[in-house]
Amino acid sequence: MIEQKLAIWALGFAIGVMTVIAGDKLLDKNTPIPDGESTRAEELISIYKRGAKDALSTNPVNFELEQACLEIWANKQPHAQ
């Protein structure tokens, strides 16, 4: 009888702990990104866009660059059945 009550109490305790952990994880996903990380992401995006623009404008044969990029992109796409 005591073992059964102890097992039920332990099970309830474990479920309670898991519920608290799951709730914490759910709330953690909704927290805003710190300013340092969002600034870094914006900086990386602007660097990428500037590099893509510079690559197209400095290359005298833009069409060949576009075709090479298209071929690389097309080869990485999953094949349709």
pLDDT tens by residue, 21-69: 888 888 777 666 666 556 677 888 888 888 777 766 655 656 767 777 7
Please indicate, yes or no, whether residues 15 and 45 belong to a single structural domain of this protein. Answer: no
Give residues with Cβ within 8 angstroms of 41, minimum separation 6.
33
Give domain status of residue 44, yes or no: yes
Q: What is the pTM of this model?
A: 0.36
> Which tokens hold the place of 63?
């069409």
Inter-residue contact 65 to 55 (CB < 8 Å):
yes
Q: Are residues 42 and 26 in the same domain?
A: no
Residue 81 lies in a domain: no
Residue scoring higher pLDDT (53 or 71): 71
Confidence at residue 74, expressed as pLDDT on a 0 to 100 scale: 81
